[in-house]
Amino acid sequence: MTATPVCRICGGTLHEFFDFGRQPIADAFVDPAGEQEEFFHRLAVGMCTSCTMVQLLEDVPRERMFRTDYPYLSSLSSAMREHFRTTARHFLDTELRDANDLLVEFGSNDGIMLDTVHRAGRRHLGVEPSTDVAEAAAAKGIRVRNAFFEEETAADIADREGTAKVIYAANTFSHISYVDSVFRGVDALLAPDGVFVFEDPYMADIIERTSFDQIYDEHFYFFSVRSVQAMAAHHGFELVDAAPLPVHGGEIRYTVARPGVRVPSPAVGRFLEREKAARIAEPDTLARFGAHVDEVRDALRAQLERCRDQGRTVVGYGATAKSSTLTNYCGIGPDLVSFIVDSTPAKQGKLSPGSHIPVRAPEAFSRPYPDYALLFAWNHAEEIMRKENAFREQGGRWILYVPGVHTV
């Protein structure tokens, strides 16, 4: 673990605006029979006073987060499967015009996006360091290299396969503190007229919705159009497009190219204006965000304590990485939430990191239904509420905390 007093992008001064204290690795579920010690780190966020990039102040060694048993499986959500099918078709229709064009995705996980490219019979390569999910993709016939994407990996791919028309990453680029190496890799691998496309949570949405649970070890950077434009320019590239996405509580898909190769979309300028008007990079806005975090914590704790005191049962839904920050910062343990149901086999039978709430299979939800379900996977609300329709019909209520604590 290394302290990061200066901006990892431009070397500017970091203005710290929130400290969540000691936090565990958000995806390191605990074996109740094991005796392993949990790893804790200081989770604090700051904004660069020069380039405005929001980032963690300390990074966790990458092998502690992305390892042989990374438990997150992208393909468990039907809405996300549809999102990535549409994404792949978009690339097939627009960028991959020549039959020989190559698409490289880093953070390809279980192949949720590459599956469509593979089925279309097109050249592709996934780069994925977490062995279990890389193997899940390979089992579907997808070509994957089990490695971290960085300068050496990218240069080696370029040597073996030639340049890529598209380099793509979803919910991965913002996880990588060492962006300088990634950009050197993109420079080595990207075709002269190619595009580097990435999609990640949007800082403006996090501020507007107080979705502070997006802040955990894996999410190192919190992108805005302004900070991504500065980051791209700093590394010799140009931001040419920014498009909003409704997934994971509000994201933006950024398109980056070599300077002068693509005509920048007017969307970039529109976003810059909007971010300025919303003052998302102003210290007073960030201070207000911090105050809102504590308001949500207090309201949620009050609601859960009320339930407990009235003898109402509360179960968590979705053992998300996000819920690690929420439960640990708010002090929510098994006394307030008896267990969490989750469809990921590798999480079932384990305890949530730090807060030690047992995780069970989704079948446990209805045996019997609790009075309240705390929706940790709020970004999948539509899909989950539809699937669990019977819960509400028999009188159950969902507790949500984004935006603000409310029940439905």
Q: What does the binding site for ligand TMP look like in residue numbers (CB under 6 A)?
A: 76-77, 318-321, 342-344, 347, 362, 377, 379-380, 383-384, 387
**233 contacts Zn ion (rule: CB under 5 A):** no
End-to-end CA distance of the chain: 41
Instruction: List the single partner that 7 binds among ligand SAM, Zn ion, ligand TMP, none, CB under 5 to 8 Å by kind.
Output: Zn ion
CB of 227 to Zn ion, least distance (A): 8
Residue with Cβ nearer ligand SAM (303 or 344): 344
**326 contacts Zn ion (rule: CB under 5 A):** no
Among 52, 172, 227, 379, binds ligand SAM (CB under 6 A): 172
**10 contacts Zn ion (rule: CB under 5 A):** yes
Instruction: List the single partner that 10 binds among ligand TMP, ligand SAM, Zn ion, none, CB under 5 to 8 Å by kind.
Output: Zn ion
CB of 88 to ligand SAM, least distance (A): 12
Write the secondary structure of the chain as one string of H (helix), E (strand) and C (coil): CEECCECCCCCCEEEEEEEEEEEECCCCCECCCCCCCCCEEEEEEEEECCCCCEEECEECCHHHHCCCCCCCCHHHCHHHHHHHHHHHHHHHHHCCCCCCCEEEEECCCCCCCHHHHHHCCCEEEEECCCHHHHHHHHCCCCCEECCCCCHHHHHHHHHHHCCEEEEEEECCHHHCCCHHHHHHHHHHHEEEEEEEEEEEEEHHHHHHHCCHHHCCCCCCEEECHHHHHHHHHHCCCEEEEEEEECHHHCEEEEEEECCCCCCCCHHHHHHHHHHHHCCCCCHHHHHHHHHHHHHHHHHHHHHHHHHHHCCCCEEEECCCCHHHHHHHHHCCCCCCCCCEECCCCCCCCCECCCCCCEEECHHHHHCCCCCEEEECCHHHHHHHHHHCHHHHHCCCEEEECCCCCEEC
CB of 291 to ligand SAM, least distance (A): 29
CB of 364 to ligand TMP, least distance (A): 11
Instruction: List the single partner that 149 binds among ligand TMP, ligand SAM, Zn ion, none, CB under 5 to 8 Å by kind.
Output: ligand SAM
Instruction: List the single partner that 133 binds among ligand SAM, Zn ion, ligand TMP, none, CB under 5 to 8 Å by kind.
Output: ligand SAM
**201 contacts ligand SAM (rule: CB under 6 A):** no
Instruction: List the single partner that 172 binds among ligand TMP, ligand SAM, Zn ion, none, CB under 5 to 8 Å by kind.
Output: ligand SAM
Cα–Cα distances (Å) from 340 to 83, 308, 320, in that order, read 26, 16, 10
**87 contacts ligand SAM (rule: CB under 6 A):** no
Q: In what order do the strands lie in the sheet with 221-222?
A: 14-24, 40-48, 54-56, 221-222
Give the rounded distance of the alpha carbon of 266 from its chain centre. 27
Q: Within positions 39 to 58, which residues make up the interface with Zn ion, using CB under 5 A? A: 48, 50-51
**385 contacts Zn ion (rule: CB under 5 A):** no
Q: Within positions 119 to 148, which residues make up the interface with ligand SAM, using CB under 6 A? A: 127-130, 133, 148
Instruction: List the single partner that 313 binds among Zn ion, ligand SAM, ligand TMP, none, CB under 5 to 8 Å by kind.
Output: none
Q: Which residues of 1-18 are buried (b: 16+ CB within 10 A; e: fewer)?
A: eeebeebbbbebebeebb
CB of 67 to ligand SAM, least distance (A): 8
Q: Helices 266-277 and 225-234: crossing angle, nearest 10°?
A: 120
Instruction: List the single partner that 50 binds among Zn ion, ligand TMP, ligand SAM, none, CB under 5 to 8 Å by kind.
Output: Zn ion
Residue with Cβ nearer Zn ion (54 or 102): 54
**154 contacts Zn ion (rule: CB under 5 A):** no
- Stretch of 168-176, 200-208, 238-246, 302-310 contacting ligand SAM, by CB under 6 A: 168-176
Residue with Cβ nearer ligand TMP (76 or 400): 76
Q: Within positions 96 to 115, which residues make up the interface with ligand SAM, using CB under 6 A? A: 106-107, 109, 112
CB of 6 to Zn ion, least distance (A): 8
Binding residues for Zn ion, rule: CB under 5 A, are: 7, 9-10, 12, 48, 50-51
Binding residues for ligand SAM, rule: CB under 6 A, are: 66, 70, 72, 74, 106-107, 109, 112, 127-130, 133, 148-150, 170-172, 175-176
